[in-house]
């Protein structure tokens, strides 16, 4: 939503966003003070200089990767739902009983699992973006390979679970997965690798919270999925630390440029998949169920601001001070947007093909 010249809201016909309708500012008919943040298009450093900044960060990236490897405990999908040719009696029993044990999972939780799984299925999009933005045969690409291998298990583990627990109309769900990948994902980052680093810092933390919250609720009905989601959330937390601290390194090299780039992605976290049929409705169900929504995203943003020490930076130029002020204003702005959205929420029922179009009603 863009304000008109006189400040009255004007509905844009072409919103191309986001994590969820929850963060869609275009859909919220905003007043002037909450209209999309603008930052100068002329970035502080040229693309070449930004590429050099990434090269300068490679020793830090190598250190962060070493820290990551030292802290992780590698796990595999088969640890949770064994599916080998030879299985113990206990494993056979668990597999046989899983669909019945998971039968009580509410549809709203199933929607959250679907959204989380779809997000994980976006891995090819992210692998490609990191490869394109961060280059080959360097510390970043070595991280990309490791990170991709770790992320791949998330989609596998969740897919195994929803299939073996028989939570969905799997044919309908697989069509969504296919559509999601075929649609592609090309965020408007304008060849700016700083935006990728800001984005991944936020995205990892957001998915950590979404997985953990889904697991807490799902675990009341079926404990195995909570264990799977807790392991995935643990990975996301470590990934977040990697990207967050890499971005912090960037702030030390080019604080104004880093903040300007962060401002391009932070007000609206543009998630792939927003153009899938029913995607916005899925995000709304998750929000209205209290699993994950804009209030959680606001916390993600606040945590990043704090970790990056944005409040304590002392920019040496006006552009840096302006970017710092805008970043520090983000939590309040996100609160206002959340409040607007909550106020406008009306009773409604949602239905999805992968849940046989059963009504999920909210008052
Ligand atoms: Fe993941
Ligand atoms: Fe991750």
Place of tokens 């939780």: 109
How far out from the chain centre does Cα 167 lie? 23
Specify the CATH number for the domain of residue 77. 1.10.620.20
Q: Is the pLDDT of residue 60 over 90?
A: yes
- Per-residue pLDDT band for 319 (boundaries 50, 70, 90) equals very high
- Per-residue pLDDT band for 362 (boundaries 50, 70, 90) equals very high
Q: Into how many domains does the chain fold?
A: 1
pLDDT value at position 22? 35
Q: Is the pLDDT of residue 35 over 80?
A: no
* Rounded distance from Cα 235 to ligand 2 centre (Å): 6
Residue 277 in contact with residue 179, Cβ under 8 Å?
yes
Q: Is the pLDDT of residue 49 over 90?
A: no
* Rounded distance from Cα 120 to ligand 2 centre (Å): 9
Q: Which domain holds residue 306?
A: 2-362
Residue 63 in contact with residue 54, Cβ under 8 Å?
no
Mean pLDDT (the chain) is: 88
* Rounded distance from Cα 150 to ligand 2 centre (Å): 8
* Nearest ligand, CA 157: 1
Kindly report, residue by residue over 153-184, the tens digit of the pLDDT: 999 999 999 999 999 999 999 999 999 999 99
* Rounded distance from Cα 71 to ligand 1 centre (Å): 17
* Rounded distance from Cα 243 to ligand 1 centre (Å): 14
* Nearest ligand, CA 232: 1
Q: Is the pLDDT of residue 3 over 90?
A: no
Structure tokens at 221: 């009905």
Q: Is the pLDDT of residue 224 over 80?
A: yes
Q: Is the pLDDT of residue 6 over 80?
A: no
The winner for highest mean pLDDT among 43-52, 180-189, 250-259, 268-277 is 250-259
Protein residues within 5 Å, CB atom, of ion ligand 1: 120, 151, 154
Where residue 219 falls (left for φ over 0; alpha for ψ -120 to 50; beta otherwise) is alpha
**pTM value?**
0.89
Q: Is the pLDDT of residue 14 over 70?
A: no
* Rounded distance from Cα 228 to ligand 2 centre (Å): 14
pLDDT value at position 275? 72
pLDDT value at position 2? 27
pLDDT value at position 17? 30
* Nearest ligand, CA 116: 1
- The residue with greater pLDDT, 170 or 40, is 170
* Rounded distance from Cα 294 to ligand 2 centre (Å): 20
The winner for highest mean pLDDT among 36-40, 186-190, 293-297 is 293-297
Kindly report, residue by residue over 236-261, the tens digit of the pLDDT: 999 999 999 999 999 999 999 999 99
């Amino acid at each position: 939503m863009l304000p008109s010249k006189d400040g009255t809201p004007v509905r844009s016909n072409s919103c191309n966003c986001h994590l969820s309708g929850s963060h869609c500012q275009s859909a919220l008919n905003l007043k002037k003070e909450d209209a999309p943040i603008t930052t100068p298009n002329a970035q502080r450093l040229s693309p070449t200089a930004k590429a050099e900044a990434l090269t300068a960060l490679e020793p830090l990236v190598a250190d962060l990767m070493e820290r990551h490897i030292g802290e992780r405990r590698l796990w595999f999908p088969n640890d949770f739902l064994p599916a080998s040719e030879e299985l113990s009696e206990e494993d056979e029993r668990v597999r046989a009983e899983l669909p019945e044990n998971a039968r009580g999972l509410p549809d709203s939780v199933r929607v959250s699992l679907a959204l989380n799984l779809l997000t994980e299925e976006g891995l090819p999009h992210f692998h490609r973006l990191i490869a394109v933005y961060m280059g080959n045969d360097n510390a970043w690409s070595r991280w990309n390979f490791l990170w991709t291998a770790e992320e791949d298990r998330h989609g596998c583990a969740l897919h195994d679970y929803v299939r073996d627990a028989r939570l969905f109309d799997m044919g309908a769900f697989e069509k969504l997965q296919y559509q999601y990948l075929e649609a592609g994902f090309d965020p408007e980052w304008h060849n700016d690798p700083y935006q990728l680093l800001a984005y991944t810092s936020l995205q990892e933390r957001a998915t950590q919270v979404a997985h953990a919250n889904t697991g807490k609720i799902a675990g009341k009905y079926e404990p195995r999925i909570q264990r799977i989601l807790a392991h995935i959330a643990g990975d996301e937390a470590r990934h977040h630390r990697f990207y967050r601290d890499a971005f912090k390194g960037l702030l030390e090299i080019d604080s104004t440029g880093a903040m300007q780039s962060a401002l391009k992605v932070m007000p609206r976290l543009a998630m792939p998949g927003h153009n899938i049929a029913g995607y916005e409705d899925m995000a709304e169900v998750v929000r209205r169920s209290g699993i994950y929504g804009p209030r959680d995203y606001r916390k993600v943003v606040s945590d990043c601001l704090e970790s990056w020490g944005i409040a304590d930076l002392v920019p040496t130029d006006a552009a840096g001070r302006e970017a710092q002020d805008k970043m520090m204003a983000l939590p309040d702005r996100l609160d206002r947007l959340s409040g607007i959205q909550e106020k406008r929420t009306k009773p409604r029922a949602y239905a999805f093909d992968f849940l046989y179009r059963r009504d999920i009603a909210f008052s």
